[in-house]
Amino acid sequence: MRIIVIGGTGLAEQVADALHRAGDEVTVIDTEPGRESALAKVGLRAIYGDALVSSTLEAAGALKADVLVACTRSDEDNLLISLLAKKRFNVPRVIARVNDPASDELFNQSWGVDALVSPATSLVSMIRPES
Amino acid sequence: MHVVITGCGRTGRALATRLDAEGDEVTVIELDETAQRGLPAGFRGRFVPGNGIHPRVLEAAGIAQAEAFVALTPNDSANIVSARVARDTYRVPHVLARLHDPAHAAVYTELGIATVGSVQTTVNRLIQLLHHRTLEPHQIFGNGETLLVRSRIPDYLAGRRVAEFNVPGEIGVVELSRAGHSSIPEPSAPLQDGDVLSFIVAAVSLGRLRSFLGGKWS
């Protein structure tokens, strides 16, 4: 599968690395400059750029991607990246990370989000499945 | 009018203060609780601490009853997200947002959100002041490619005809004010001392229009 992972976080990097090892074709858009070479060293295709500008997503191969993971530290960035990926590039599956559980309810189809990962909410629901 | 503003920096504060002074009901949302101290002493509006992208914070600010929403945080993404939520989820009739990075303009346009671009507005104004000193634009279209300017016709141009100012693709005379009366002049109409003409002009042709007004046609 062709996968784009966006974010300068450890999580973005770990996800990208694991998928790459599993045989997927992974491109990372790093939103923090200077780390592309470290990612390239482990064999990942990495570009640095502003993912809110569609030319960056296009350069990462958004037109042909099967999955896009919006995994930055900013909820608003993740929402907009998801929206661009879905609306402009028609990426079949868009997965977004939620940083602040107060943003949970925003992460839905109206922003192009097919699935969300919200660590705090997931942990709470494991402890209190009813809440 | 109830106006909800996100961002209590210089611009947010100034707008909130002005609206409050003009009798509007203002609520300011700001992440930094200490920013409330920046609001002036007699400010009658409300201050809601929190992130303006979060529905609960917007609701606490009374977004459901707001007639206008203005996103003025330093973060373009937060401004776009909160503006879209205000418009689409809470049906706020007037939604405006500040745009910092002109590279993000396409996202705002795609979502149909009206923006006030700090960089673009400042650059346009500076170019006006530097390049077009004698021609004060009344209206700037697009990114400044086309302008509407008005200029008083000096005595040495009396007798020239409107058509002499028309250059296809560059300059067009669209209006003539004479003795307090405005009209759309015939190309053959002769000009008089004291006439004021409105020109639609391409930014690249401002120099040419300035030459015309200086009496130079070559």
Q: Which residues contact A119 (CB under 8 A, 6 or more apart)?
A: A98
Query: Domain of A101?
Result: 2-127
Under 8 Å between Cβ of A77 and A102: no
Report the number of distinct structural domains present in chain A.
Answer: 1
The minimum CA-CA distance between A108 and chain B, rounded to whole Å, is 12
Whether the CB of B76 is below 8 Å from some CB of chain A: the reply is: yes
Q: Work out whether the CA dihedral A21, A27, A32, A37 comes out positive or negative.
A: positive
Is B183 exposed, middle or buried, given 0-12, 13-18 or 19+ CB atoms closer than 10 A?
exposed
pLDDT tops 90 at residue B194: no
- Report if residue B57 sits inside a domain: yes
pLDDT digits (tens, 9 = 90+) for B42-66: 999 999 999 999 999 999 999 999 9
Structure tokens at B213: 């007004």
Whether the CB of B78 is below 8 Å from some CB of chain A: the reply is: yes
pLDDT digits (tens, 9 = 90+) for B91-106: 999 999 998 888 888 8
Are B164 and B117 members of one domain? no
Of residues A49, A78, A82, the one with CA closest to residue A65: A82
Are B153 and B115 members of one domain? no
Q: Which of chain B's residues have a Cβ under 8 Å away from the Cβ of A79?
A: 53, 77, 81
The minimum CA-CA distance between B50 and chain A, rounded to whole Å, is 10
Per-residue model confidence (pLDDT) at position A85: 96
Which residue in chain B is spatially nearest to A79 when comparing CA positions?
A: B81
Q: What is the pTM of this model?
A: 0.74
Whether the CB of A50 is below 8 Å from some CB of chain B: the reply is: yes
* Residue among B54, B85, B101 minimizing CB distance to A102: B54
Say whether A52 and B104 touch across the interface (CB within 8 A).
yes
Q: Please report which confidence band the pLDDT of residue B149 belongs to, taking 50, 70 and 90 as the band edges.
A: very high
CATH number assigned to the domain comprising residue A64: 3.40.50.720
Structure tokens at B195: 């006439």
The minimum CA-CA distance between B30 and chain A, rounded to whole Å, is 15
pLDDT tops 60 at residue B119: yes
Say whether A50 and B103 touch across the interface (CB within 8 A).
yes
Q: Which of chain A's residues have a Cβ under 8 Å away from the Cβ of B78?
A: 76
Say whether B81 and A79 touch across the interface (CB within 8 A).
yes
Whether the CB of A58 is below 8 Å from some CB of chain B: the reply is: no
Residue B28 CA to residue B52 CA, distance in Å, equals 9
Which residue in chain A is spatially nearest to B78 when comparing CA positions?
A: A76
Give the residue carrying structure tokens 């999955």. A67
Q: How many CA atoms lie within 13 A of B159 on its CB side?
A: 3
The minimum CA-CA distance between B145 and chain A, rounded to whole Å, is 23
Whether the CB of A77 is below 8 Å from some CB of chain B: the reply is: yes
Name the stretches of chain A with pLDDT < 70: 36-37, 131
> Parallel, antiparallel, or unpaired for β B25-30 and B2-6?
parallel
CATH number assigned to the domain comprising residue B145: 3.30.70.1450
Whether the CB of B99 is below 8 Å from some CB of chain A: the reply is: no
Of residues B178, B170, B161, B158, the one with CA closest to residue B199: B170
Q: How many CA atoms lie within 13 A of B104 on its CB side?
A: 27
Mean pLDDT of B182-201: 93
Interhelix angle A75-87/B76-84, nearest 10 degrees:
70
Q: Which of chain A's residues have a Cβ under 8 Å away from the Cβ of B103?
A: 50, 52-53
Which residue in chain B is spatially nearest to A55 when comparing CA positions?
A: B103
Out of B95, B121, B147, pick the residue that ends a domain.
Answer: B121
Residue A111 CA to residue A114 CA, distance in Å, equals 9
Are B12 and B107 members of one domain? yes
pLDDT tops 90 at residue B27: yes
Query: Domain of B92?
Result: 2-121
Are B111 and B139 members of one domain? no
Q: Does ipTM come in above 0.90?
A: no
- Report if residue B129 sits inside a domain: no
Per-residue model confidence (pLDDT) at position B181: 94
Per-residue model confidence (pLDDT) at position B130: 66
**Backbone phi, then psi, for B124, in 5-degree steps?**
-55, -45
Are B19 and B100 members of one domain? yes
Say whether A110 and B88 touch across the interface (CB within 8 A).
yes
Q: Please report which confidence band the pLDDT of residue B15 belongs to, taking 50, 70 and 90 as the band edges.
A: very high
CA distances from B36 to A128, B51, B66, B79 (A): 37, 14, 21, 19
Are B42 and B112 members of one domain? yes
**Backbone phi, then psi, for B109, in 5-degree steps?**
-60, -45
Per-residue model confidence (pLDDT) at position B152: 85
Kindly report the three-state secondary structure assignment for every residue of chain A: CEEEEECCCHHHHHHHHHHHHCCCEEEEEECCCCCHHHHHHCCCEEEECCCCCHHHHHHCCCCCCCEEEECCCCHHHHHHHHHHHHHCCCCCEEEEECCCHHHHHHCCHHHCCCEEECHHHHHHHHHCCCC
* Residue among A76, A84, A106 minimizing CB distance to B75: A76
Are B82 and B186 members of one domain? no
Out of B88, B121, B154, pick the residue that ends a domain.
Answer: B121
